[in-house]
Structure 1
């Protein structure tokens, strides 16, 4: 019977911890026998105050060392304070034997990365933390579009509910796919949800500080269906193409062409909400000469086809 030890610290998100505990406990219940032994641990073995709840634990790091799998629930988006408060955990994690599985939910991937465990390995975290993660840990192969990554003995999941994807994956690994399916059904959870690309915004959410660039972005919004290249954009911004590239990247984090494609696909998403708009018509409206090119780029950026997006939006309440 695999022992799963869940880490609890003051930064632990109650929802993430309880979701993981519930998934494995439900697996035991549906199976009719103890498939998993669940334990909670903290750095010093003492109960942890999570603000509105005090969580009892079963032991400290010595207890966790004997577990088959260490699971780190989400710790929120205050990365600096989380890494500082859990500094003592990092060298201990780095010394874990290869036979012990390590799994992070959402933002706890930062703990694994800070311990040096993800260097050269595939991993994921919440899409909103991608930029910060890449800046801190460029040596990690971050696959932010994935809801779940499994590389050797290391597992990581994307934001919020993707933690349940990871728990179901572990249940399937250890107790079989049928039990994992039963747990997903009992939780009314669709485990075939594609990628995080379906949930991440296509365009930068922060306002652009460069006023001239902001004016150019508004112009691109109005003319997105036309033929636009770097030369035309530079003329519109009254600067050289090289200067525009530099300012555009600094202001949006994207190249002009990347921004234009995301702008067009974002507009296409809105147009797809109306069943009266055919895919051919939408493709032409947002600036693509043919449906195939439009559909290929849409899937690349959104993680699903235009048709699948439209069907999903129709099913939404």
Structure 2
């Protein structure tokens, strides 16, 4: 999918840079689609965290990239370097898709790329971003925002979510899932999900939901109810609801609907089944029900979603309204 250029300079944080390099650097085993050519672009030598890094190319290379990734900027109290800001702006003007990770949004804002756009950054710095750049519509409550050719993410793990989102736009969910499996992370967290949840999806084997969630995902074609889930988990419906809220930040029914929509997306991207067949396979019952929930959740009808991915063109709806 062309060149992914990582824009680096003194003062970048190494975690987000490493995330981007790990995601885009090499295709996972078994994936045969054309992969990205990754270029690290910056001045002669830079300090990234505690490390010294020698970029492969100068910042002028950014304007030749298809996608430009701007990692986190360490000191948001200081203005980003003018040469970095100018190079990022020039890349976007040349047609590049530009994405910031965490506080890299301050670089995009300084370049004027976020003016009049919805954007996000790490929750601890959203107020600073909004005050410094009042023309930016800062959303402090999402993991990432896809505004077409400009994308922004919240902090740390959300940077990985955005990178996987880009893979998903370019190659579809099956390839993004393969990358996620290699990284041992969840394959998809929707951009509109809250940045901060009291507890993550359970990963301990002894968690009350640890056995239930895989059981549910294997039976999405069945008309499951909250009572069915509670019975399988051997607890009351009220008790189940409390565990779901604490672990996932949502209700059992909303979580179940999210899984059904995700499955529908995968089937639309990878197969030729009709919407009626997919509605049955995902437990939606009818094509009308699937279309209603899919359109409301994803932002486009199932048929449009399928055509978008089959055409090879990146999807253009906002991730902030997804799942």
TM over 0.5: yes
Matched, 1:93 2:88: yes
Give the Cα–Cα distance (whole angstroms) in 2 for the partners of residues 101 and 199 of structure 1: 27
CA distance in 2, matches of 1:102, 1:154: 5
1:9 Cα deviation (Å)?
1.1
Deviations 1:91-138 (A, max 9, x none): 333333262111100001011011111111111111111111111112
Whole-Å Cα distance in 2 between the matches of residues 311 and 170 of structure 1? 26
Q: Structure 1 pair 171/51, CA: closer, same or farther in 2 (3 Å)?
A: closer
Q: 1:183 aligns with which of 179, 199, 206?
A: 179
The number of equivalent residue pairs is 210
Name the SS for the 1:6 alignment partner: strand
Structure (1 or 2) with the larger CA radius of gyration: 1
Mark the runs of 5 or more structure 1 residues left unpaired by the alignment. 202-274, 280-304
Measured in 2, the distance between the counterparts of 1:15 and 1:24 equals: 14
Instruction: Give the structure 1 partner of residue 115 of structure 2.
Output: 119
What does 1:251-290 correspond to in 2, within 5 Å?
Answer: none
**What is the match of residue 66 of structure 1?**
64
1-side partners of 2:187 and 2:123: how far apart? 18
Q: Equivalents in 2 of 1:175, 1:120: separation in Å? A: 29
Q: 1:9 to 1:196 in 2, by over 3 A?
A: farther
Question: CA 1:72–1:311 in structure 2 vs 1: closer, same or farther (change >3 Å)?
Answer: closer
Contact 1:123 1:142 in 2 (8 A): yes
Q: Which has the higher helix share?
A: 1
TM-score (norm 2): 0.59
Q: Distance in 2 between matches of 1:32 and 1:148?
A: 28
Secondary structure at 1:79 match in 2: coil
Residue aligning to 1:31: 31
Mapped to 1, the partners of 2:122 and 2:112 lie a distance apart of 19
What is the distance in 2 between the residues matched to 1:60 and 1:18?
19
Aligned mate of 2:196, from 175, 194, 199: 199
The structure-2 alpha-carbon separation of the partners of 1:306 and 1:2, relative to structure 1 and needing over 3 Å to count, comes to farther
Unaligned runs of 5+ in 2: 199-234, 250-323
- Deviation of residue 308 (structure 1)? 3.0
Q: SS of the residue aligned with 2:11?
A: coil
Q: Taking structure 1 as the reference length, what is the TM-score of the superposition?
A: 0.60
- Looking at structure 2, the residues matched to 50 and 108 of structure 1 have their Cα atoms a distance apart, in angstroms, of 13
Aligned residues of 2:3 and 2:65 also touching (Cα < 8 A): yes
Does 1:172 pair with 2:168? Answer: yes
Shift of 1:87: 2.0
Give the aligned CA root-mean-square deviation in angstroms. 2.7
CA gap of 1:30–1:37, structure 2 versus 1, over 3 A, is farther
Instruction: Tell whether the 8 Å contact from 2:143 to 2:195 is kept in structure 1 after alignment.
Output: no
Partner residue, 2:54: 56
Confirm whether residue 151 of structure 1 aligns to residue 147 of structure 2.
yes
For 1:147 and 1:182, locate their aligned partners in 2 and report how far apart those are by CA, in whole Å: 21
Contact 1:24 1:36 (8 Å CA) reproduced: yes
SS of structure 1 residue aligned to 2:155: coil
